[in-house]
Structure 1
Amino acid sequence: MEFGAACTSLQRARTLVRRAQGPGSQARRSAEQQPRLCTQQRRQRWRRCAASRRGSDDEGDEAVDIDALASQLSAEAERLRRSGSFDGGSYDGEGERRQPGSRRGEDMLSPFGYQTRSAEAEVLAAVGDGGFSPEEFELLQELGTINIQQVATSVDLDDFPMPTSERSARTAVIAYTGTFFSGMPFQDPVVVLVKEYLPGAKAVACNELQVLKHLAGMPEVSMKWQTAASPLASYPPVVRLLGYFTAGQTAQAQELLEGEEPEDALWVVLKWEGLAPLALYPSAQQTSGIGLGRLFGGQDSSLLDRSRMLRSITRGALAALGYCHAAGVVHGALGSGSVMLSSFDDRTAKRLVVKLDNFGFAHKLSMQQDESQGSTAGALYSQQPAPLVGDETPLALGQREDLRALAVVLLECMLSALAHNGPSPLTSTDSLQRLLGEVFVWGVDDFRRYCEDEPDWQTAVELLTFDSDAGWQLLKDMCGGSSSAEELARGRFCQL
């Protein structure tokens, strides 16, 4: 009992010391020690954050207006979103590099970050202490990259002056699995997910930190290990934020930014739950008669298992999106790389856990609540959502855009997973987005006739037609925007 009490006292003392030292002391301590994460010496940017906090104290402990900071960052993120989009399904690690030697102001983070150092310090101060130091982590494996696609519009000055646009992809995030060492007795190292946001993507990282904390909170320093070591849970249906820290760049990041002056990166730490992106599901090997995502005429139950799995994915994705919308958050960049699954095994449809990730371009919008409604995300998740018919508020418009984006993601998954020839360029997100959104202008009836004439899509058509066109009606509701995501998650097509 005495030893257990001593451990508890040590843990509380460690928490108090961290809070007393503040982020500036953490940066100084990190600069004196060589981290296992990287080799570049950090610049102690936390001093700006500490100076900002000291300035607030001198003015009479004036509280930070988090809503104002969130609005400011959302405006900056909107500028970035208009020039590009998250491509969460890219794992090739090939992003277009910025031109070396580019000049920028001392206070600007990056040409495509649209975020200043002072704004970064304000946002991190509003989010709170990240609770981690670089020395507590050791990287294990690189999982992949997340790219930001930018569209540069130009005008041809030849005989035919037609506006043209060029797309370029920049690597913004490198994801790793890492080991977290808490340094406390009886707390073994635990695996976590670590995202290295390159200097040019710090605006995206700051936005994601604010949104994730709003959706599911961030554990206290004394509870970070317990949260990281806890088993997989379906709630909350978003990736769980553990904290963050600032450190130098890895060798992989330095290669992508060759020729540029090294500077610190923002590292976001998330709970590792073994989830994998939906983009990889259609080609996953199955053990029930389906190989490489294609039907080879195996057992009779294989098609039934796959159909049940697709409906479970649909229900889980809609429920997760409804959770975000009920909390006043619009995702803004839904793709097949942002929907995470706990399993690719079709036989686990009833136990499937679906969560959303990549909230770098999300928006936290104001919403009116009844006095009887709670203020936490958990309470919001269980509320009855209001219908979207006739609602033209920014939140409702953003919800409709999310539902349309999710409709394309789910269509890509169904067509790719049920096509006899497997995934193809015709079933890609870009192809379906052009087909459904531009050619048929979100007209599901016309799109349905097109699908019925495609021989390779007949199995998917049968799935959508099952139970009196339940699947087609769901797509109509998602594209029309007349119902909320949570309402659609309770529809006929999502019942297993």
Structure 2
Amino acid sequence: MGISVKSLFSMVSPASAFCGSERAGLPACKFYSGRRKIHRCHCVFATMDVFSSDDIVLESLLGTYGYMSISSYDPPKLDGGIESMTTSLNAKRFGGQEVDAGNVETRLYSGRVRRGPNTGTRILLKAYPVRNAGGHEADMMAANELSSHAILQDSSMGKTCENIIVLLGGFETRTGEQWLVFRNDGIKSGADYAMAAGVATQKGISVGVWDFWDRFEKAEVLQRRHAFIRKLLAGAFTGLSFMHARGQLHQSLGPASVILNTMEERNISMVLPRLRDLAFAVDVSNETLFRGADPKFGALSDNLWRRAAAAGARTIFERKAFGIADDIFSGGLLLAYIVFASLSVPGSVDAPSLQRLLESTFRLDLTATREYCMMDDRWEEAVKFLDLDNKAGWELLQVSEAMLNPDYRQRPIADAVLCHRFMTG
């Protein structure tokens, strides 16, 4: 049987029940409308709303999103030399990762709340398909995303993080679709910014508001772009650091999983990146690992643990370390993509091609990768940016704080990435 948002909210008690009051007189196992506190694993308290479809006004469809599942991982060998992309890859392989197209496609809408405690709030709605379209996996993903946000938004564990999108609640439609309701803190993603920045780089102007003099002040325009990229990445890694501190892995980190409240490069102080897309988040808190994976959501993390075993992670703590390092590796690919896509000729680079270049063609040898990239004039500004401060960007990717190190044990934690001189500028 699938796990639904409604069934997860069945773990919700009236807020008053957690304040020692019995006046509500409602059993904890029922599903009631209104504001509730999620209580999971006897330790999580996060206030969310149980909406109904009548509480929401839909405004526009923002897009449809699919998922890829990483089913196996073969760590790149350091002594393998340069391998041709045309002979080393097939349609289902990215570098050392074997990937499969998922069965679940979600829809994202903008809207607003028209009644209840959050009346007037601008929202984003994520709709998971009904069971006969997405299978039980869709139900598990929706419930897992809600559960992960409940842990991350648990204020009883200390200060929460502004670099993670806020989940307001959810509801189930009469047809069985699971809908999650997020506060709308921006609809543009890191991928959207990188695309816009690539065009702006080619034109010699700023992203967002620009003026005639931008074309004659190339250095200043690029400095603003560099600062924006660092701000975007810093926000993403701050959110990732918080997730890891709360015992949560992201497992879907990429340019589309970072949202921005603005893309105005002339107003960098207002930029606040936030992480989203936690459908495949994995709980690696010590208590969860010691008691075994939660059977309701364990299927979503099976591929992660298979890849951990293939990398030599056997014990509980090695598995946790692998999971954290796996997020960091994705963070390294995110950094490389944002830099190259934002500072290169539009259309000259995309995420899959860049990953193949790094993992398969050059086997994560960033020295050889840099030499190759230097020969392509379309990537000149990206290479120059990574070369700043004695090649600080390349160093972060492979040398002292090696995010893309083939050995997961040698990768830094998110806090170390944030402190690196490339990130601080």
Would you call these one fold, judging by a TM-score over 0.5?
A: yes
The residue matched to 2:26 in structure 1 has which SS?
helix
What's the TM-score once normalised by structure 2's chain length? Answer: 0.68
- 1:281 is aligned, of 169, 187, 193, to 193
1:177: which partner in 2? 110
Residue 191 of structure 1 deviates from its aligned partner by 1.5
CA deviations on 1:271-327 (whole Å, 9 max, x unpaired) are 11124210100232769942679xx94423111111111122222222221111111
Secondary structure of 1:148's counterpart equals strand
Contact kept in structure 2, 1:342 and 1:353, CA below 8 Å: yes
Tell me the distance in 1 between the aligned counterparts of 2:71 and 2:411: 34
Match of 2:205 among 285, 290, 293: 290
For the 8 Å contact 1:127–1:209, the answer to whether it is kept is: no
Of 315, 323, 343, 1:418 maps to 343
Instruction: Quote the residue 1:243 is aligned against.
Output: 169
1:393 is aligned to: 318
Q: Is the 8 A contact 2:123 2:183 kept in 1?
A: yes
Q: Distance in 2 between matches of 1:299 and 1:398?
A: 44
TM-score by length of 1: 0.59
- SS of the counterpart of 1:393? helix
Is the 1:195–1:268 contact (alpha carbons within 8 Å) kept by the matching residues of 2? Answer: yes
| 2:349 is the alignment partner of 1:407 | no
Q: Extract unaligned runs of 5+ from structure 1.
A: 1-10, 30-62, 71-125, 154-162, 220-232, 249-262, 369-389
Long gaps (5+) in structure 2: 1-14, 73-89, 93-98, 209-213, 288-312
Mapped to 1, the partners of 2:22 and 2:58 lie a distance apart of 27
Identity of aligned residues (%): 25
User: How far off is 1:149 after superposition?
Assistant: 3.3
The change in CA–CA distance for 1:466 and 1:65 in structure 2 (over 3 A counts) is closer
Q: Does 1:299 align with 2:305?
A: no
- In structure 1, how many angstroms separate the alpha carbons of the residues matched to 2:64 and 2:217? 37
Q: Distance in 1 between matches of 2:221 and 2:160?
A: 26
Number of equivalenced pairs: 333
* Correspondence 1:337 to 2:271: no
Amino acid aligned to 1:197: Y
Q: Which amino acid aligns with 1:299?
A: E
Instruction: Report the Cα distance in structure 2 between the residues aligned to 1:134 and 1:218, rounded to whole angstroms.
Output: 27
Q: CA, structure 1 residues 208+169, in 2 after alignment: closer, same or farther (shift >3 Å)?
A: closer
Aligned counterpart, 1:190: 121
Q: Map Cα deviations across residues 341-393 of structure 1 (whole Å, 9 max, x no partner).
A: 2221122333321111101111010238xxxxxxxxxxxxxxxxxxxxx9962
Describe the shift of the 1:462–1:170 C-alpha distance in structure 2 as closer, same or farther (beyond 3 A): same
The residue that corresponds to 2:285 in the other structure is 366
1:203-239 deviation line (CA, Å, top 9, x unaligned) = 11111111111112399xxxxxxxxxxxxx9933111
**Counterpart pick for 2:140 among 203, 222, 240:** 203
- Give the alignment's Cα RMSD to 1 decimal: 4.0
> What amino acid maps onto 1:267 in structure 2?
W
Q: Contact 1:216 / 1:236 at 8 angstroms: preserved in 2?
A: no
Provide the rounded CA distance (Å) in 1 between the counterparts of 2:27 and 2:375. 67
What displacement does 1:21 show? 7.8
> Does the C-alpha gap of structure 1 residues 354 and 291 become closer, same or farther in structure 2, counting only changes over 3 Å?
closer
Range with bigger deviation, 330-339 or 210-219: 210-219
Find the aligned partners of 2:184 and 2:374 in 1 and give their Cα distance.
41
1:151–1:188 CA distance, 2 compared to 1 (3 A): closer
1:437-463 per-position Cα deviation (integer Å, ceiling 9, x unaligned)? 222222222222221222211111111
Shift of 1:150: 5.8
Q: 2:176 is matched with which residue: 261, 264, 268?
A: 264
8 Å contact kept, 2:171–2:179: yes
Secondary structure of the residue aligned to 2:126 is strand
| CA shift digits 1:151-189 (9 cap, x unpaired) | 899xxxxxxxxx9859546452111112212346xx752
For 1:150 and 1:443, how far apart are their aligned partners in 2? 25
TM alignment of 1:93-492, pairs within 5 A:
130-149=49-68, 168=101, 170-183=103-116, 188-199=119-130, 200=134, 201-217=138-154, 235-248=161-174, 263-284=175-196, 289-290=204-205, 297-300=215-218, 301-367=220-286, 393-419=318-344, 421-422=345-346, 424=347, 426-476=348-398, 477-480=402-405, 481-492=410-421
d(CA) in 2 for partners of 1:306, 1:271? 27
Deviates more, 1:479-488 or 1:233-242: 233-242
Alignment CA distance shift 1:171-1:182 (3 Å)? same
Which residue does 1:43 correspond to in 2?
none
Give CA deviations for 1:419-449 in whole Å, capped at 9, x if unaligned: 1x22x2x521111111112222222222222
Structure 1 pair 461/343, CA: closer, same or farther in 2 (3 Å)? same
Distance 1:490 1:164, change over 3 A: closer
- More deviation, 297-306/136-145: 297-306
State the distance in 1 between where 2:69 and 2:163 align: 29
Q: State how far apart, in whole Å, the 2-side matches of 1:25 and 1:482 are.
A: 44
Equivalent position SS for 1:358? coil
Distance 1:149 1:16, change over 3 A: farther
- SS of 1:469's partner is helix
Query: Does 1 or 2 have the higher relative contact order (CA < 8 Å, sep 6+)?
Result: 2
| CA pair 179-282 structure 1, distance change in 2 beyond 3 A | same
Q: d(CA) in 1 for partners of 2:421 and 2:70?
A: 39
Counterpart secondary structure, 2:227: helix
Distance of aligned partners of 1:132 and 1:218 in 2 relative to their CA distance in 1, 3 Å threshold: farther
Q: 1:297 to 1:25 in 2, by over 3 A?
A: closer
Give 1:190 shift. 2.0
